[in-house]
Amino acid sequence: MSGHSALAAGARLETVSGFDRIGEENAFAVLARAGELAAGGMDVINLGIGQPDFPTPPNIVEAAVKALRDGHHGYTPATGLPVLREAVAADLHRRFSVEISPDRVLVVPGGKVTMFAAILMLGAPGVDILYPDPGFPIYRSMIEFTGANPVPVPIREANGFAFSAEETLSLITPQTRLLILNSPANPCGGVTPRGEIEHLVKGLGAHPQVAILSDEIYDQMLYDGEEHVSLLAFPEIRDRLILLNGWSKTYAMTGWRIGYSVWPDGLYDKARKLAVNAWSCVNAPTQHAALEALTGPQDAVAEMVAEFDARRRLVVDGLNALPGVSCISPKGAFYAFPNVSGTGRQAKALASALLEETGVATIGGPDFGILGEGYIRLSYANSRENIARALDRMRDYLMLR
Ligand code: PLP
């Protein structure tokens, strides 16, 4: 039988081994299940997926519509429109007083793409990559995909869900090639304070072989007067720092698929070539929208953050009033990560029961790493009214068990 007819008869298609190890993000599975339940008539309140519930501000939408009407229908440079890369550099200068050349900025289709590219570039069998646990699940998935050894850096409630510089440094070995940092963080909402970051950067001086991927996608979502300390602000690590950022969260643009990275000298051209091989460029109207987002009025960002802050208080107070649940106040992003160990339930089973039995979608902590057991994640990117209704349902459910 020829290979062709064997396949036609249903032979199993083999992939290279990395694809047996690739993972995913359970938030999308919960989103799909919530959609099914809603389609079946259930009143579902979605506190699962991490995306702002606000529409993209109208001036940004209009910029994209205008770009289409003006005929911006073709490819752009693979690295992004020069004017957009300049606007990113100017924005970073405005916010962090750092001089970044637009030639180091790469516009990519979403924040995720930077972690994909960076981990693909630096991960290989025999290499250690440090990543936060609990953390964004794609870090570990991509590390495993490359065959590198995933080394979790514990993110502890007792430490306000911030990175511990000391613990992170203690996990570095001669095999460590990449350290992934995320502050403000998903899923815990932790913000790593300046002192801790300074300590970490100082300690990294002893480990020049370690590149750093700093995921700062939530950098404008801060509460209680917290400041964002960008890793870009440390010139001593600039030659090995990859910055991940984008528009998805700050400007409520998750579906547009656009983000940016800042790369060190030695890696920029490799990232550019990856872009040429894989996606060519981000679609032109979205780049025009992103330009308007950075250069237009910023009031909508402040309004969204103020609303997230009000919801944060509501959700934390509500969670702390539930039997068996305690929740520290997250300082950033738009997630609460309550400790549910006092309910006596496994976190994933609890999250699943809350969705199936009460219509409240949350994500079990173990979907963010083994240290997520005992926690669930609630995204408060939903209206105050819905958050209050969700908390009522959770209380009724927990009181009855
Ligand atoms: N990094 C973190 C920590 C995130 O939580 C997310 C999205 O949830 C991303 C990156 C990806 O963002 P994007 O939707 O722009 O790909």
Residue 376 lies in a domain: yes
- Who has greater pLDDT, 25 or 312? 312
Ligand 1 centroid to residue 138 C-alpha, Å: 9
Q: Are residues 291 and 309 in the same domain?
A: no
Query: Whose alpha carbon is nearest atom 12 of ligand 1?
Result: 111
pLDDT tier at 1 (50, 70, 90 boundaries)? very low
Residue 83 shares a structural domain with residue 41? no
Instruction: Quote the pLDDT of residue 9.
Output: 56
230 plus 272 within the same structural domain: yes
For residue 202 the two structure tokens come to: 């100082």
Q: Whose CA is nearest to atom 13 of ligand 1?
A: 111
- Asked whether the beta carbons of 107 and 280 are under 8 A apart, the reply is no
Please indicate whether residue 186, judged by its CB atom, sits closer than 6 Å to ligand 1: yes
Most ligand 1 atoms within 8 A of CB, residue of 106, 141, 249, 377 to mutate: 249
Mutate to test the pocket of ligand 1, among 49, 112, 228 (most ligand atoms within 8 A of CB): 112
Closest alpha carbon to 252 in 296, 203, 200, 290: 290
What is the per-residue pLDDT for 26?
A: 86
The number of the ligand 1 atom at minimal distance from the alpha carbon of 248 is 15
- The CA 217 to ligand 1 mean position distance, Å, reads 7
Residue with tokens 């999308």: 28
The ligand 1 atom at the shortest distance from the C-alpha of residue 258 is 15
CA distance 98 to 89: 9
pLDDT at 2: 44
d(C-alpha 377, C-alpha 307), whole Å: 19
Cβ(131)–Cβ(149) under 8 Å?
no
Residues 186, 233: one domain?
Answer: yes
Give the mean pLDDT of 49-68.
Answer: 95
Cβ of 246 less than 6 Å from ligand 1: yes
* Nearest C-alpha neighbor of 283 from the set 255, 252, 249: 255
Mean pLDDT of 172-178: 98
Does one domain contain both 176 and 110? yes
Is 10 part of a structural domain of the chain?
no
Same domain, 216 and 314: no
Would the CB of 217 count as within 6 Å of ligand 1?
yes
Inside any domain, residue 158 = yes
* Domain limits for position 377: 17-55+300-399
Asked if the structure places residue 318 within a domain, the reply is yes
Q: Which two tokens stand for residue 152?
A: 């979790």
Sheet of 335-336: strand order equals: 335-336, 376-379, 363-364
Q: What is the mean pLDDT of residues 87-102?
A: 97
Residue 100, SS3?
coil
Q: What is the mean pLDDT of the chain?
A: 95
Rounded to the nearest whole angstrom, what is the distance from the C-alpha of residue 361 to the centroid of ligand 1? 19
The total domain count for the chain is: 2
Give the tens place of pLDDT for each residue, 149-169.
999 999 999 999 999 999 999
Element (H, E) at 361: strand 360-361
Query: Long-range contact list for 353-356, CB < 8 A, 24+ apart?
Result: 353/397, 354/393, 354/394, 354/397, 355/30, 355/33, 355/34, 355/37, 355/44, 355/48, 356/37
- Do 102 and 185 fall within a single domain? yes
> What percent of the residues of the chain are helix, what percent strand, and what percent coil, each to the nearest 5?
50, 15, 40
Q: Which atom of ligand 1 is nearest to the CA of 257?
A: 15
Q: What is the mean pLDDT of residues 213-220?
A: 98
242 vs 261: CA distance, rounded Å:
7
Rounded average pLDDT over 224-240: 97
Task: Say whether both 43 and 153 belong to one domain.
Answer: no
pLDDT of 3 > 50? The answer is no
Confidence of residue 400 (pLDDT cuts 50, 70, 90): confident
Give the pair of three-digit tokens for residue 230: 């960008």
Looking at per-residue pLDDT, the higher value among 154 and 400 belongs to 154
State whether the beta carbon of 146 lies less than 6 angstroms from ligand 1.
no
CB 394, CB 351: distance < 8 Å: no
How far is the centre of ligand 1, averaged over its atoms, from the C-alpha of 2 (Å)?
45
* CATH for 385: 3.90.1150.10
How many whole angstroms from 126 Cα to the centroid of ligand 1? 27
Domain final residue, candidates 260, 278, 295? 295
Atom of ligand 1 nearest to the CA of 187: 5
Single out the residue in 271, 295, 319 at which a domain terminates: 295
Q: Distance of alpha carbon 61 from its chain centroid, rounded?
A: 23
pLDDT, one tens digit per residue, over 262-272 is 999 999 999 99
Question: Looking at the structure, do residues 262 and 339 belong to the same domain, yes or no?
Answer: no
> What confidence score (pLDDT) does residue 10 get?
57
Rounded Cα distance, 234 and 262, in Å: 14
Angle between helical axes of 82-96 and 284-295 (0-180°, round to 10): 30
Dihedral sign computed on CA atoms, order 75, 76, 78, 84 = negative
CA–CA separation, 275 vs 171, rounded Å?
32
Indicate whether 131 and 280 sit together in one domain: yes
**Do 233 and 315 fall within a single domain?**
no
**Half-sphere exposure for 364 (CA within 13 Å, toward CB):** 21
User: What pLDDT shows up at residue 7?
Assistant: 53
Is the CB of residue 52 below 6 angstroms from any atom belonging to ligand 1?
A: no
Q: What is the CATH number of the domain that holds 271?
A: 3.40.640.10
pTM for this model (two decimals):
0.95
Distance, in Å, from the CA atom of 376 to the CA atom of 356, rounded to the nearest integer, reads 15
Q: How confident is the model at residue 372 (pLDDT cuts 50, 70, 90)?
A: very high
Kindly give the number of the ligand 1 atom that is closest to the alpha carbon of 135. Answer: 3
For residue 26, the one-letter residue type is N
Question: Best mutation site among 31, 186, 256 for ligand 1, i.e. most ligand atoms within 8 A of its Cβ?
Answer: 186
The contacts of residue 303 (CB under 8 Å, 6+ apart) are none
Q: Is the pLDDT of residue 313 over 90?
A: yes
Query: In what helix (H) or strand (E) does residue 335 lie, and over which residues does it extend?
Result: strand 335-336
Q: Is residue 9 part of a domain?
A: no
In-domain check, residue 183: yes
Burial class (CB in 10 A: 0-12, 13-18, 19+), 329: middle
Question: Once rounded to an integer, what is the mean pLDDT over residues 226-253?
Answer: 97
Looking at the domain assignment, is residue 11 inside a domain? no
pLDDT > 90 fraction of the chain, expressed in percent and rounded: 91
Whether the CB-CB separation of 393 and 358 falls below 8 Å is answered with yes
CB-side neighbour CA atoms (13 Å) of 106: 31
Q: How far apart are CA 357 and CA 130, in angstroms?
A: 37
Q: Are residues 384 and 350 in the same domain?
A: yes
| Ligand 1 center from residue 111 Cα (angstroms) | 5
CB 47 within 8 A of CB 380: yes
Domain-located, residue 66:
no
Q: What separation in Å is there between the alpha carbon of 25 and the centre of ligand 1?
A: 11
- Residue 9, burial from CB neighbour count under 10 angstroms (0-12, 13-18, 19+): exposed
Of the residues 260, 295, 330, the one at which a domain ends: 295
pLDDT in tens, 12-56: 788 888 898 999 888 888 989 999 999 999 999 999 988 899 999
SS3 (DSSP) at 188: coil
* Lowest model confidence (mean pLDDT) among 18-27, 88-97, 146-155, 303-312: 18-27
Distance 398 CA to ligand 1 centre (A): 31
Write down how long the chain is.
401
